Amino acid sequence: MTSPRSRAVPAALAVIAVAAAGCLPAPATVEARRTADLYTIFVAAAAVVAVIVIGLTLFAIVRYRRRGDDELPPQVHGSNRLEVAWTAIPLLTIVALFALTLGVLSVFDQAKGAAAGAELRVTAFRWGWRFEYPGQGVVLEGVREPGPEAYVPVGETVHVTLTGNDVVHAFFVPRFLFKQDAIPGRENTFAFTVEEPGTYRGQCAEFCGVYHSGMPFTIVAVPRAEYDAWLATHRGPATSPGASP
């Protein structure tokens, strides 16, 4: 039969992991949900390591503290079992976390290979964004606040081709738990699938100059019928909701 204290330790670790994971933005995409699950596992593993290290340190300080005499405590000169244990356990933990990380990264790679419900070409420039819908005749531009609003269909994979026009920028939507650099002369590709309708604010996340903080954009996820209607009403010359600094 386990003691209340032995049952309390795992419960405390679980609470710590859940509380720390709760500091993340709520995941809004299929890929973000897998990333959030991975973060939770990492935090739980870190909590276990912290409890072991801090617990053993406090135990050694209290148990083997000086007791008023100069007599040395029993000296231990090595233990093969202990050395194997404290080498193998961290090594296996790192290998397991590495394998889980590769599994989550493969989810992002698989998303790029899935059939596209929508395609976006995104160009970052100082100090705004340009969203193009290839083959649809829709182009959006926004400079500084409030930035452009790009619509995407809910529950369908959105393929994005990202580049920069002048310096390095970064496409970042907090609730997507994902950031991708926009590099001049280079095209980066990624994909995401928004799970629920909503408005998701994004921001340039790479310092790019004096107006870096004024480069927002918004991803609006809507049902397919509403998305198609939006495309139909926005075909034509590029719209630019923002003003030049």
Angle at 177 (CA atoms; ends 174, 183), nearest 5 degrees:
85
Structure tokens at 196: 């629920």
Q: What angle do CA 118, 119, 123 make, to 5 degrees?
A: 140
How confident is the model at residue 79, as a pLDDT? Answer: 79
List of E strands, the chain: 118-125, 128-133, 138-143, 149-153, 157-164, 169-173, 178-182, 188-193, 198-204, 216-222
> Following DSSP, what letter does each residue of 61-86 receive, concatenated?
HHHT---SS-PPPPP----HHHHHHH
pLDDT of residue 39: 92
pTM attached to this predicted model: 0.75
What is the pLDDT tens value at each position of the chain, 245 positions in all? 445 555 555 556 556 655 655 567 889 999 999 999 999 999 999 999 899 899 989 998 888 777 776 777 677 777 788 889 889 999 999 999 999 999 999 988 888 888 888 999 999 999 899 999 998 889 998 888 888 999 999 999 999 999 999 999 999 999 999 999 999 999 999 999 999 999 999 999 999 888 888 899 999 999 999 999 999 988 866 555 544 44
